[in-house]
Amino acid sequence: MTEARLPRRVLVANRGAVAARVIRTLRRMGIESVAVYSEADAGLPYVGAADRAVAIGPAPAQQSYLNQARLLDVARESGADAVHPGYGFLSENAGFAEAVQRQGLCFIGPSPRWIRELGHKTQARAFMAGQGMPQAASSPVLASSDEALAAAARIGYPVLVKPAGGGGGIGMLPARDAQALAAAWAKASGIAAKFFGSAELYLERLIEAPRHIEFQVLADRHGEVRILFERDCSVQRRHQKVLEEARPVGIPEAQLADMRLLLSGLLARIGYDVIGTVEMLYTPQDGFVFLEMNTRLQVEHAVTEEITGIDIVEAQIRLAAGMHMRQVLPGPMQASGHAIEARIYAEDPVRFLPSPGPLARFELPTGDGIRVETGYAQGASVTPFYDPMIAKLVAHGHDRRDAIARLQAALAQTRIEGVKTNIPFIQRILAHADFVAGRIDTGIAQRVLSPQP
């Protein structure tokens, strides 16, 4: 693809809500879309929303959405000249990005170099440390539990065992002493091998009760970087995000501005491009420390879109096509109001186990300041093959109090039958005194579940 030429037909190499989200922007831009679907997803709404849809295989992801050869065949046969990977699946697979480019197509994401450089956690930490990013003490990849015990003695307890090739909080286990570390190491290595195809683990100093703050990055291929403010993703259960909001409350603006300046300068200097999110941990004592960088569109991008008015998917497409930042975001960036996103999962709200089944009733709210992102419709089935998230509800208000009230009202109007959902849990968080007051850290969900007398 020549520089700054928009694609005319894009293969959306994903499913569900993110496929529907990308297709919506492609249609508005006048770009044709090609959807792909597994046997389990044949009846989902995004399939009919695309200009063309192609079946790619059986339900298991390895035989469909992770089948690179099949996806590349569909791209070629459909006449697509670009591929959008969405999030999850192959979105941070450097080999897939390179294969797309070898086929003469545009990969709508960062250059494969950056996916490879920053996708592996310890490699990314070492790289970013060399660029001056503040970090907590950690280890390289460790070969055994004995090496882990020695590393923990150097770092100091408590530590966090983390898969080097992982993400989404999967396989992350805390350890407060040597005995706990041995057990966590054995468990985490099995989880990592199952979910990521690699049992590589490392240790990181466990920061107690931090905020999880992330910075949304857009970058052109000509040296200009914009940071689209910040999101607070601290409300998590077992390291899985439940609520996200923009912008964070209770962190001095001067510290946020300093970090935006540091990141924009660093990423421009190394030549990072297209899209990404820098995830940080924050405490008043330590300030910001680097956690990881996601080289893709984030699940929670909608809250940033709501406060800025910027279509991040459109910007991603234009930047991947080679456009200059001044063509993509010509004016100054401003943040207006406050936005909060709730992730609705088909799961038991007490035991938090998946709850697959048919959506006998699926009525999602509408109204001023309410945005819904979903891959489902009434009558569809939530299958056990993929992530059980069935919708995202986003509320945009004049301020944080207004956004909370709008989200609470939207959840009260939501009617879902046939599967259990985590809506009661979300409602408990929104009503909790700590959340309302902005006293947020990564332990707030546990405080809601297990209140202290």
Q: Are 300 and 233 in contact (CB under 8 A)?
A: yes
Written as six digits, the tokens of 317 are: 């497409």
* 3-state SS assignment for residue 23: helix
Helix then strand then coil, % of the chain, to nearest 5: 35, 25, 35
* 3-state SS assignment for residue 22: helix
296 an active-site residue?
A: yes
Q: Are 278 and 293 in contact (CB under 8 A)?
A: yes
Tell me which DSSP letter residue 100 carries. Answer: H
Q: Among residues 214, 165, 252, which one has the least CA distance to residue 341?
A: 214
Angle, to 10 degrees, between the axis of helix 400-413 and the axis of helix 423-431?
150
44 by Cβ neighbours in 10 Å (0-12 / 13-18 / 19+) ranks as buried
- In Å, how far are 138, 201, 260, 379 from 133, measured between CA atoms? 14, 22, 12, 49
Query: What single string gives the DSSP state of each residue in 231-268?
Result: EEEEEEETTEEEEEEES-SSS-HHHHHHHHHHHHHHHH
Considering 125, 226, 260, 296, which one is annotated as catalytic? 296
Q: Is the backbone of residue 352 left (phi > 0), alpha (psi -120 to 50) or beta?
A: left
- In Å, how far are 16, 157, 168 from 382, measured between CA atoms? 11, 41, 21
- Residue 321, C-beta contacts closer than 8 angstroms, at least 6 positions apart: 1, 3, 4, 5, 6, 7, 82, 106
Written as six digits, the tokens of 310 are: 């910027």
Give CA–CA dist 146/152, Å, rounded.
10
Catalytic residue list? 296
